[in-house]
Amino acid sequence: MSKIDRAVKLIHAPLSVLPLKLLAVVMALTITGLLMWEPQQFAKDIGGFSAGLAPLMIWATCSAMVFGMGFVPHRWYFQVFFTPYIALPILLYILGLRFL
């Protein structure tokens, strides 16, 4: 186990709690459901799908599902790529745009 791998595991350790994982899954499924149910209305509510927001939303949803289901990638760079530290605030921002 390399130093980078240990550091990444140490950084992600505080997030390995069940309530946060459940919240991640619920937020990802909520966004997915809203998008699949009425795409035009969802796009209108969040201000449209821009070239930056749409890929971020897809990545954050996938990352939240990876994190929420408890899957931990073996390689440290995949753990950094699918980090919930970035994905969860993006999902929270998108849900805030939709519901606030």
Convert the pLDDT of each residue in 46-75 to its tens digit. Answer: 999 999 999 999 999 999 999 999 999 999
Contacts for 70 with CB less than 8 Å, ≥ 6 apart: 21
Can you read off the two tokens belonging to residue 50? 């821009």
C-alpha closest to that of 25 among 93, 82, 88, 80:
88
The percent of residues in the chain predicted with pLDDT above 70, rounded, is 100
pLDDT at 33 over 80: yes
Q: Is the pTM of this model over 0.75?
A: yes
